[in-house]
């Protein structure tokens, strides 16, 4: 039976990257629909400030400081969440960062940094939470990107890391179906931001100015983060496998598989 998308009363939701950006909006939206939160961030001041902001609105929010590239930190925040609330229903892997630059001029340590945060952090947190989530027939929400489906120019190692998140999500979905775990991959275009990036772009010298824009200059409208968060809650309630916004991007993804040459032309035209 499908869950009511507006009823997350007393569900326990752990959000990595929950003190800023899209992660914070997702956490807020779950809280508005009755969920109890565990908010994970790297900067203690940001995490505690966000938790206090949530509490001022009457929401339950547990602030947790962790580096999700460290498996021991991932295990610790899951343990602290379960000890505090008694269970875990939803894990949102929203911690991550983007990149700009030419592939051949991107230092190898930058690839490694992106891989550890965007990919290994997602995997480590999911492994740490897996048993708790399965016990509740819960949800894993992995924040991908249009770049998880289609590479582009001037975005360095970002698409490589997000393609890996997409592959992890699909494999986890296939392996966990019988265990009752729901896995959702979220692939949005550029999301509107009210605040500057938490971490500045690196190695962005010598690339077109347009590529520094959200989404690497992709010619689609910016997505309202509240709209996206609401779609995520609805997709979890329906236990859908994937969200792609804008949905018309699926046409490009299909073309790229059938005719890579035409796909490359379309990517060049629309970015």
Q: Which residues are catalytic?
A: 158
E strands within the chain?
A: 12-16, 36-41, 61-65, 90-93, 139-143, 182-188, 242-245
**What is the C-alpha separation between 239 and 217, in angstroms, rounded?**
32
**12 with 241: CB under 8 angstroms?**
no
**What is the C-alpha separation between 170 and 260, in angstroms, rounded?**
22
* Helix (H/G/I), strand (E/B), else coil: 201: coil
**What is the C-alpha separation between 140 and 130, in angstroms, rounded?**
9
């Amino acid at each position: 039976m499908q869950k009511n998308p507006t009823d997350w009363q007393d569900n326990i939701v752990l959000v990595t990257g929950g003190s800023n950006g899209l992660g914070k909006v997702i956490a807020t939206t779950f809280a508005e629909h009755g969920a109890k939160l565990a908010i994970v961030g790297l900067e203690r001041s940001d995490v505690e400030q966000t938790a206090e902001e949530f509490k001022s609105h009457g929401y339950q929010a547990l602030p947790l400081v962790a580096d999700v590239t460290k498996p021991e930190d991932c295990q610790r925040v899951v343990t602290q969440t379960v000890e505090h609330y008694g269970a875990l229903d939803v894990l949102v892997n929203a911690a991550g960062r983007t990149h700009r630059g030419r592939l051949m001029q991107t230092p190898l340590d930058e690839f490694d940094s992106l891989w550890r945060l965007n990919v290994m952090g997602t995997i480590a947190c999911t492994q740490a939470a897996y048993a708790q989530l399965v016990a509740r027939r819960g949800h894993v929400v992995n924040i991908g990107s249009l770049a998880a489906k289609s590479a582009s120019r001037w975005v360095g190692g970002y698409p490589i890391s997000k393609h890996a998140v997409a592959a992890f999500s699909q494999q986890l979905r296939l392996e966990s179906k019988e265990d009752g775990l729901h896995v959702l991959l979220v692939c949005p275009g550029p999301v509107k931001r009210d605040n500057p990036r938490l971490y500045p772009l690196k190695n962005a010298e010598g690339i077109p100015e347009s590529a520094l824009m959200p989404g690497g200059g992709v010619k689609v409208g910016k997505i309202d983060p509240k709209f996206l968060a609401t779609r995520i809650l609805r997709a979890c309630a329906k236990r859908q496998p994937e969200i792609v916004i804008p949905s018309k991007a699926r046409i490009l993804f299909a073309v790229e598989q059938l005719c890579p040459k035409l796909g490359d032309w379309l990517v060049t035209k629309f970015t």
